[in-house]
């Protein structure tokens, strides 16, 4: 009985290297160790067994079921948000974060309390819809250890870059961010 | 910047084959396709790259943060439960389950409503503590597709086997089980 061993279609690989649609304009460390600066970023659906020539790093994550949003919140999100790949979304950001052991030791109600009741994570994100499109990838429960717990991918038009900065500023000021011990911030543009 | 790519210590592999501490006494399909019957089951901490000679199947799962229990429930669980590996626990069961797409499309509050408010999953499990020890492994967000979403490993003394049957009977009668589309049931003993 050979069981399937292909990657789920929910798995994505982000490769910092010499290739890819996205040109890297900035790589910053927000908290902890940074990632090395590379000329380009490639976003690949599926797994990457080996780093391509000239690539410096590979981050993998998987989209999954929602962990915090309620039905009411999701209904609002779905009605407001737009998908990735809009023609006007020529800017993007990849924000990898890792949460502390204290975060992961909490129970669901404790995490939700910090995530939404105290930090308003979902409400903050909603303020920036549909301008800022996003896709969340989970890394913590992959079969191989990953350097981050989450990779969030954002896409937006250049005119909405100030909104994106405001979104990040608001999130980073929340009680939730006290449970983040590594965060990088990679900015990207599509070459015209 | 080579990032670590070893398996997290939370990953476990269950191998149905010719080797292992546990002798297989029964393999049943509860819902959907079964697993093939093998003489023994090996439980390995970490990943297994290749099936050992004579092995028929490999299931992998990772322990993770709690998805539903509240702090109050966890405090009770921690005070009552016992760990795996007790000398009297000479019987074990591996129950792999897969949940439906409808389950995974639900939001956190909807899943918790079915899991505990309507199905009393946590309360039912508590009734059988500390006799029935358990460890839950998640498979759905591993990097490779797995045939099941969860693997639950149970250990108990022979005298508690009727309790274990009662636990399963109660869980399988819950509304939550309507969202399960594949379930196998593998029974094991330690040879004296």
SS (H, E, C) chain B: CCCCCCCCCCEEEEEEECCCCEEEEEEEEEECCCCCCCCEEEEEECCCCCCCCCCCEEEEEECCCCCCCCHHHHHHHHHHCCCCCCCCCCEEEEEEEEECHHHHHCCHHHHHHHHHHHCCHHHHHHHCCCCCEEEEEECCCCCCCCCCCEEEEEEECHHHHHHHHHHHHHHHCCHHHHHEEEEEEEEEEECC
Query: pLDDT (tens digit, 9 = 90+) per residue, B141-178?
Result: 998 899 999 999 999 999 999 999 999 999 999 999 99
Return the DSSP state at A165. H
From B117's Cα to the closest Cα of chain A, the distance in A is 15
Interface test with A, best of B32, B77, B141 (most A CBs within 10 A): B141
pLDDT (0 to 100) of residue B69: 95
CA nearest neighbour of A117 among A175, A43, A48, A190? A175
Concatenating the DSSP letter of every residue in A125-147 gives: HHHTTTTSEEEEEE-TTSSS--S
C-beta separation of A41 from A2 below 8 A: no
Please tell me the distance from the alpha carbon of residue B89 to that of residue B74, in angstroms, as a whole number. 23
For chain B, the average pLDDT equals 95
CA nearest neighbour of B68 among B138, B123, B115? B115
Please tell me the distance from the alpha carbon of residue A18 to that of residue A56, in angstroms, as a whole number. 9
For chain A, the average pLDDT equals 95
Please tell me the distance from the alpha carbon of residue B14 to that of residue B94, in angstroms, as a whole number. 9
pLDDT (0 to 100) of residue A1: 41
Residues of chain B with Cβ-Cβ distance to A17 below 8 Å are none
b/e string for A167-178 if b means 16 or more Cβ within 10 A?
bbebbeebebbe
CA nearest neighbour of A129 among A85, A166, A77? A77
CA nearest neighbour of B188 among B25, B72, B66, B70? B25
Query: pLDDT (tens digit, 9 = 90+) per residue, B20-45?
Result: 999 999 999 999 999 999 999 999 99
Q: Does the pLDDT value for residue A59 go beyond 50?
A: yes
| Residues forming beta bridges with residue B96, ordered by sequence position | B151
Residues of chain A with Cβ-Cβ distance to B179 below 8 Å are none
Nearest chain A residue to B142, by CA: A142
Q: Does the pLDDT value for residue A192 go beyond 80?
A: no
For residues B36-58, average pLDDT:
94
Q: How confident is the model at residue B1 (pLDDT cuts 50, 70, 90)?
A: very low
Q: How confident is the model at residue A2 (pLDDT cuts 50, 70, 90)?
A: very low
Return the DSSP state at A52. P
From A123's Cα to the closest Cα of chain B, the distance in A is 16
Residues of chain B with Cβ-Cβ distance to A62 below 8 Å are 141, 143
pLDDT (0 to 100) of residue B7: 84
Query: pLDDT (tens digit, 9 = 90+) per residue, A71-105?
Result: 999 999 999 999 999 999 999 999 999 999 999 99
Q: Does the pLDDT value for residue B116 go beyond 70?
A: yes
Task: Judge if the upstream peptide bond of residue A130 is cis by omega within 30 degrees of 0.
Answer: yes
Return the DSSP state at A117. I
Do A108 and B141 lie within an 8 Å CB cutoff?
no
Please tell me the distance from the alpha carbon of residue A52 to that of residue A48, in angstroms, as a whole number. 9
Do A145 and B6 lie within an 8 Å CB cutoff?
yes
**Closest CB to B57 among A1, A7, A66:** A1
CA nearest neighbour of A9 among B61, B143, B149? B143
From B55's Cα to the closest Cα of chain A, the distance in A is 10
The pair of three-digit structure tokens given for residue A90, joined into one six-digit string: 């020529």
Return the DSSP state at B68. S
The pair of three-digit structure tokens given for residue A22, joined into one six-digit string: 């996205």
Q: Does the pLDDT value for residue B4 go beyond 60?
A: no
Do A4 and B35 lie within an 8 Å CB cutoff?
no
Do A62 and B143 lie within an 8 Å CB cutoff?
yes
User: pTM, whole model, 2 decimals?
Assistant: 0.94
For residues B65-77, average pLDDT:
95
Query: pLDDT (tens digit, 9 = 90+) per residue, A112-150?
Result: 999 999 999 999 999 999 999 999 999 999 988 999 999
pLDDT (0 to 100) of residue B49: 82
Low-confidence winner among A6-10, A26-30, A176-180, B99-103 (lowest mean pLDDT): A6-10
Do B4 and A138 lie within an 8 Å CB cutoff?
no
For residues A150-162, average pLDDT:
98
| Residues forming beta bridges with residue A12, ordered by sequence position | A45, A61
CB atoms within 10 A of CB A66: 20
Planar angle of CA A163, A174, A139, nearest 5 degrees: 85
**What is the separation of C-alpha A186 from the centre of its chain, rounded to a whole number of angstroms?**
10
Q: Does the pLDDT value for residue A5 go beyond 80?
A: no
| Residues forming beta bridges with residue B16, ordered by sequence position | B41, B57
Do B107 and A74 lie within an 8 Å CB cutoff?
yes
Return the DSSP state at A25. E
């Amino acid at each position: 009985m050979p069981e399937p061993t292909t990657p789920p279609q929910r798995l994505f690989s982000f490769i910092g290297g010499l290739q890819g649609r996205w040109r890297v304009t900035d790589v910053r460390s927000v908290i902890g160790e940074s990632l090395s600066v590379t000329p380009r970023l490639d976003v690949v659906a599926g797994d990457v067994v080996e780093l391509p020539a000239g690539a410096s790093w590979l981050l993998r994550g998987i989209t999954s079921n929602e962990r915090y949003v309620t039905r009411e919140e999701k209904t609002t999100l779905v009605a407001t948000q737009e998908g990735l790949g809009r023609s006007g979304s020529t800017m993007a950001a990849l924000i990898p974060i890792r949460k502390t052991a204290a975060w992961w030791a909490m129970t669901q109600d404790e995490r939700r309390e910090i995530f939404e009741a105290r930090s308003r994570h979902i409400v903050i994100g909603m303020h920036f819809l549909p301008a800022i499109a996003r896709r969340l990838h989970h890394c913590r429960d992959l079969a191989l250890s990953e350097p981050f717990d989450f990779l969030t991918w954002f896409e937006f038009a250049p005119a909405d870059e100030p909104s994106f900065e405001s979104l990040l500023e608001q999130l980073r000021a929340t009680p939730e961010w006290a449970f983040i011990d590594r965060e990088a911030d990679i900015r990207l543009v599509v070459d015209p």
